[in-house]
């Protein structure tokens, strides 16, 4: 598969790979960079390079927060 799904980063946590891939692709599309890692029992998402516009950057932070909340419940 494309974009890292062939090698599972978090095989023990269902859905984490897909969530990480989704925000990574969105970040790349708007000129940003996010780093996804495991923190305790949730997927930590850090916006390491801001997007082309402040609105895009804000949207990435909102999505990062949602992903962290979603994975904390799993």
Residues 15-63 have pLDDT tens digits of 999 999 999 999 999 999 999 999 999 999 999 999 999 999 999 999 9
The pair of structure tokens assigned to 36 is 């996804």
73 vs 32, higher pLDDT: 32
Cα(29)–Cα(23) distance, rounded to whole angstroms? 10
Q: Which SS3 state, helix, strand or coil, does residue 4 take?
A: coil
The pair of structure tokens assigned to 53 is 């516009």
Distant-in-sequence, close-in-space partners of 35: CB < 8 Å, separation ≥ 6: 45, 46, 48
Task: Give yes or no for residue 3 having a pLDDT over 70.
Answer: no
User: DSSP H helical segments within the chain, as ranges?
Assistant: 16-29, 54-72
């Amino acid at each position: 598969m494309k974009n890292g799904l062939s090698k599972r980063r978090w095989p023990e946590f269902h859905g984490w790979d897909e969530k990480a891939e989704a925000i990574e692709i969105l970040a790349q599309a708007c000129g940003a960079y996010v780093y996804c890692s495991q923190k305790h029992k949730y997927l930590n998402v850090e916006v390491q390079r801001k997007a082309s516009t402040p609105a895009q950057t804000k949207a990435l932070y909102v999505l990062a927060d949602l992903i962290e909340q979603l994975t904390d419940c799993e």
